Chain A
Amino acid sequence: MDALSGLAMGFSVMLTPANLYFCFLGSLIGTMVGVLPGLGPLAALALLLPVTFTLSPIAGLAMLAAIFYGAMYGGSTTSILVNIPGEAASVITCLDGHQMARQGRAGAALGMAALGSFIAGTLSLIVLTFFAPALAAIAIRFGPPENFGLMALGLVCTLFMITGSKLKGLLMIALGFLLSSVGMDMVNGNERFTFGVTDLTAGIELLAVVIGLFGISEILLNVESVAKNSLVADRIKKLIPTWADWKASFAPILRGSGLGFLLGIVPGGGPITASFMSYAMERRIAREPERFGKGAIEGVAGPESANNAAVAGSMIPLLSLGIPSNPITALLLGALIIQGIQPGPLFITQRPDLFWGVIAAMYIGNVMLLVLNLPLIGLWVQMLRIPYRFLFPLIVLLAMVGTYSANKNVFDLWMMLGFGLLGWLLRKLEYDIAPFVLAFVLAPLLEQSLRQSMTMSVDGAMILFQRPVSAGLVAASALLLVLMVIRQFKRKRGDS
């Protein structure tokens, strides 16, 4: 079956009132989840998983997938207007999106985030439709050495996005590395830094870290002066970006789409890594990198496109190989297995209705989300207009329910509070906490892939240079590192 007839079959499966309704419901819930800080897509998917058991496989999967990319769309709204990321992949949008809002350009930021997401989502879906088998074949060739190269490149890119003191940024990366190693060593089962605490055996929950560091610390900082409401929504106008905005954002959207899609395919990639790497890349190649962090529209367009493209990308290994590339697709995999479907190489041939139906659902959901995000922006803003003194306790309550929902464990709530207080202190002392999160996500994958590479190698670390893809990625990481050192050296010489 060729791609076009497959897609036609997918649309014929999806275009029933019930399937469209659940796709719309997923888009709506996903956007709400993205807009409201404290409740991320992972928590929402986990919460809604039992609901889908009663639905047909296509309706359930369409709804869950819509929540996933709906949250990617909606997450930018809160990042831009309140400076609190609605979900982890929108952390980076806070940097320039909120600055744009403070400069009275909230409409342009929101519009570009939504349109960039739509363009990236559509482009990556087209690629997914026509090149799924070929791309899946590339992804399946990625072994531990290639994954190590990719993770190393991701971490080097993190160095470029450190704002403020480089020493503090590097310390955050090291801390992310250290804290990610807490729990059971996945290679040999040894416990690390658990000190006999059973709750630490599974490691520190990412949701507690992200909500604590970004959500709770933001609330703690903001309650210091309640009169100051950082919801910048009173001047939202001109949601359609200007020609100048398009000109500045067009290339970042395309680059973000490509990068996000590729990172979505490979394990460990996904929307969070994609948005961070896109920001680092845009900042690296910008003619005036100092504009970043001060309201550069490229800092919104690139990452927002990347995180949406990553959603489509992450569907390739899930649907064609049965390999989840991030925790959210792992949950989607669980949903499929519960429905009695085993995704894998035979999935496309054995259940073409479902495979193409999911792709069609993503096309439909993408359009639904554009409708939800642009004309209904007022509704989302109204949701955020609730005064802080009422909004804060509600966000805290939602954050607590969201964090608790991940593992049904009160220990995660203490973790969330601990990271909230740590984030408050670090932000007071001008530490950049975003590199911590990326290091926290990438470090376990980096460590695991290196150790697996060493185990399968007879020449030790040389395996990383014997395979062309991993050698290329490691070389690119080294080159970027050297470039950064040279730039720092030149800057210091210039200062003195």
Chain B
Amino acid sequence: MVERLLNLFWILLGSAAAWQSWKLGLRGPSGPESGLFPFIASCGIAVLGLSLMLARASRVAQPQWPDARAGLRTVGVALGIALMAFGMDRLGFVVSAAIAMPVLLRTIDRASWLETLILTVGSIAAIVLVFGKLLGMPLPRGPWGW
């Protein structure tokens, strides 16, 4: 089911991108225009998506999808990354990492609260020290200046 949906997505993506590429122009007076290469690639995606939809041989017999608990861990990691990406500009690196790290540590393997605290503080301090201070990389700061 998921594979069929993905194949359908390829067909739609390829068709939409081919239409966009066509609008960019395929050929100009001095040769290929901006749209030619993406047009070829888009048509390829649409045709290959259609071929995959029709070809049974290319389908995965039994995809190994995660069970509920494993799925929760996968979602937890994605959520941790999303939280940090969302917070980096708004809250700064330190606070967004302090929110994301416990989410990651607790969802991956239920680290104890003490381990979570030590690892969160330790890893953030190490990154701020190495990247922020020693290497002078400007890590994003929150409204409170750090």
Q: Mark A170-189, 1 if CB is under 8 A from B, else 0.
A: 11011101100100010110
**Least CB distance, A149 to chain B, in whole angstroms:** 17
**Least CB distance, A446 to chain B, in whole angstroms:** 8
Q: Assess whether A488 is interfacial by the CB under 8 Å rule.
A: no
Contacts of B66 in A (CB 8 A): 224
| Contact indicator A223/B48 (Cβ below 8 Å) | no
Contacts of A491 in B (CB 8 A): none
What's the Cα separation between A435 and B135 when bound, in Å? Answer: 34
Q: Assess whether B136 is interfacial by the CB under 8 Å rule.
A: yes
What's the Cα separation between A428 and B1 when bound, in Å? Answer: 13
**Least CB distance, A464 to chain B, in whole angstroms:** 12
**Least CB distance, B89 to chain A, in whole angstroms:** 5
What's the Cα separation between A224 and B71 when bound, in Å? Answer: 7
Contacts of A380 in B (CB 8 A): none
Q: Assess whether B142 is interfacial by the CB under 8 Å rule.
A: no
| Contact indicator B65/A388 (Cβ below 8 Å) | no
**Least CB distance, B96 to chain A, in whole angstroms:** 9
| Contact indicator A216/B81 (Cβ below 8 Å) | yes
Known contacts A168-B58, A190-B24, A405-B137; A224/B38 CB under 8 A: no
| Contact indicator A226/B108 (Cβ below 8 Å) | yes
What's the Cα separation between A173 and B47 when bound, in Å? Answer: 13
**Least CB distance, B77 to chain A, in whole angstroms:** 6
**Least CB distance, B63 to chain A, in whole angstroms:** 5
Interface-central residue, B33, B70, B85, by most chain A CB under 10 Å: B85
Known contacts A167-B51, A193-B20, A410-B88; A454/B105 CB under 8 A: no
| Contact indicator B104/A192 (Cβ below 8 Å) | no
Partner of B73, one of A47, A223, A450: A223
Partner of A397, one of B2, B37, B71, B101: B101
**Least CB distance, A38 to chain B, in whole angstroms:** 12
Q: Assess whether B82 is interfacial by the CB under 8 Å rule.
A: yes
Known contacts A177-B41, A178-B17; A167/B55 CB under 8 A: yes
Partner of A429, one of B2, B80, B127, B135: B2
Partner of A417, one of B63, B81, B89: B81
Interface pairs A-B: 10 shortest CB-CB: A454-B31, A389-B109, A174-B44, A177-B41, A413-B85, A393-B104, A224-B70, A178-B41, A171-B48, A165-B58
| Contact indicator A390/B111 (Cβ below 8 Å) | yes
**Least CB distance, A215 to chain B, in whole angstroms:** 11
Interface-located stretch among A58-66, A134-142, A365-373, A419-427: A419-427
Partner of B138, one of A216, A408, A429, A430: A408
What's the Cα separation between A472 and B127 when bound, in Å? Answer: 50
Q: Closest residue of chain B to A175, judged by CB? A: B45
| Contact indicator A420/B78 (Cβ below 8 Å) | yes
Q: Mark B37-55, 1 if CB is under 8 A from A, else 0.
A: 1101110110011011001
Q: Closest residue of chain B to A223, judged by CB? A: B73
| Contact indicator B31/A429 (Cβ below 8 Å) | no
Contacts of B131 in A (CB 8 A): 47, 401, 405
**Least CB distance, B134 to chain A, in whole angstroms:** 8
Q: Assess whether A460 is interfacial by the CB under 8 Å rule.
A: yes
Partner of A455, one of B30, B34, B57: B30
Q: Closest residue of chain A to B105, judged by CB? A: A393
Known contacts A51-B135, A417-B82; A397/B74 CB under 8 A: no
| Contact indicator B34/A220 (Cβ below 8 Å) | no
What's the Cα separation between A447 and B55 when bound, in Å? Answer: 31
| Contact indicator B34/A185 (Cβ below 8 Å) | yes
Q: Assess whether A110 is interfacial by the CB under 8 Å rule.
A: no
Known contacts A393-B123, A417-B78; A171/B52 CB under 8 A: yes
Q: Assess whether A225 is interfacial by the CB under 8 Å rule.
A: yes
Q: Closest residue of chain B to A448, judged by CB? A: B37
Partner of B108, one of A389, A401, A408, A455: A389
Q: Closest residue of chain B to A454, judged by CB? A: B31
Q: Assess whether B8 is interfacial by the CB under 8 Å rule.
A: no
Q: Assess whether B95 is interfacial by the CB under 8 Å rule.
A: no
| Contact indicator A193/B10 (Cβ below 8 Å) | no
| Contact indicator A167/B52 (Cβ below 8 Å) | yes
| Contact indicator B45/A223 (Cβ below 8 Å) | no
**Least CB distance, B142 to chain A, in whole angstroms:** 13
Q: Assess whether B139 is interfacial by the CB under 8 Å rule.
A: yes
Interface-central residue, A167, A177, A181, A454, by most chain B CB under 10 Å: A181
Contacts of B32 in A (CB 8 A): 447, 450-451, 454
Q: Assess whether A443 is interfacial by the CB under 8 Å rule.
A: yes
Contacts of B24 in A (CB 8 A): 190, 192
What's the Cα separation between A193 and B14 when bound, in Å? Answer: 13
What's the Cα separation between A450 and B31 when bound, in Å? Answer: 9
| Contact indicator A410/B127 (Cβ below 8 Å) | no
Q: Closest residue of chain B to A44, judged by CB? A: B135
Q: Assess whether B60 is interfacial by the CB under 8 Å rule.
A: yes
Partner of B41, one of A174, A408, A430, A451: A174
**Least CB distance, B93 to chain A, in whole angstroms:** 8
Which residues of A (370-415) have their CB < 8 Å from a CB of B? 388-390, 392-394, 396-398, 400-401, 404-405, 408, 410, 413-414
**Least CB distance, B110 to chain A, in whole angstroms:** 8
What's the Cα separation between A190 and B81 when bound, in Å? Answer: 33
What's the Cα separation between A181 and B21 when bound, in Å? Answer: 10
| Contact indicator A392/B88 (Cβ below 8 Å) | no
Contacts of A219 in B (CB 8 A): 77
Known contacts A47-B137, A50-B136; A428/B52 CB under 8 A: no
